[in-house]
Amino acid sequence: MEHLLPSPRVAVPASGYFTFSPGDLIAGPEPLTRAVRLALAVLDLREAAGNAVVQVVEDPALGSEAYTLEIAEDGIRIVAGGVAGAFYAAQTIRQLLPVDAYRSVRLPRAAWVVPCGRVEDGPAVPWRGVHLDVSRHFLPKREVLRMIDLMGVHKLNMLHLHLVDDQGWRVESRAYPRLHEIGSHRSRTTTSYYREDLAYDGIPHGGHYTLDDLSEISAYARERAVTVVPEIDVPGHASAILAAYPELGAKPGERYEVLDRWGISSAILSPLPATVNFLTTVFDEIIDALGVVPFFHIGGDECVLDDWAASEDIAAHQNDLGLATPGDLHAWFLRRLADVLADRGVRAVVWDEAFVSGRLREDTVVMPWRGMNVARRAVAAGHQVVLTPVFPLYFDYAEAGSAEEPLAIGEAITVSDVAGFAPVPEGWDAAERERVAGVQFQLWSERIPDARTLDYRAWPRGCAVAEIAWTGAPAQNPPAQDNPTQDTPAQDSLTQDIPTQGFAARLAAHLPRLDALGVEYRPLNGPRPWQRGGGWRAHRPGMLSVRDVTAHLDELTHAADSTRPSV
Which residues are designated catalytic? 165, 237, 302
Question: Residue 567's Cα: distance from chain center in Å?
Answer: 20
For the four alpha carbons of 306, 311, 312 and 313, in that order, the dihedral sign comes to negative
> In degrees rounded to 5, what are phi and psi of residue 364?
-75, 135
- Four-point Cα dihedral 44, 50, 52, 57, nearest 10: 90
Residue-level length of the chain: 567
Question: Angle of helix 83-96 relative to helix 30-39, nearest 10 degrees?
Answer: 30
Distance CA 91, CA 102 (A): 10
∠ CA 235-240-241, nearest 5°, is: 55
Residue type for position 261: R
Distance CA 356, CA 377 (A): 9
Question: Angle of helix 461-471 relative to helix 502-517, nearest 10 degrees?
Answer: 120
- DSSP character at residue 522: P
Distance CA 374, CA 369 (A): 9
Distance CA 127, CA 132 (A): 15
Inter-CA distances, 38 with 146, 174, 222, 228, Å: 14, 34, 12, 19
Q: Which residues contact 361 (CB under 8 A, 6 or more apart)?
A: 335, 338, 339, 342, 348
SS3 assignment, position 212: helix
- Which residue, 85, 15, 115, is CA-closest to 470? 85
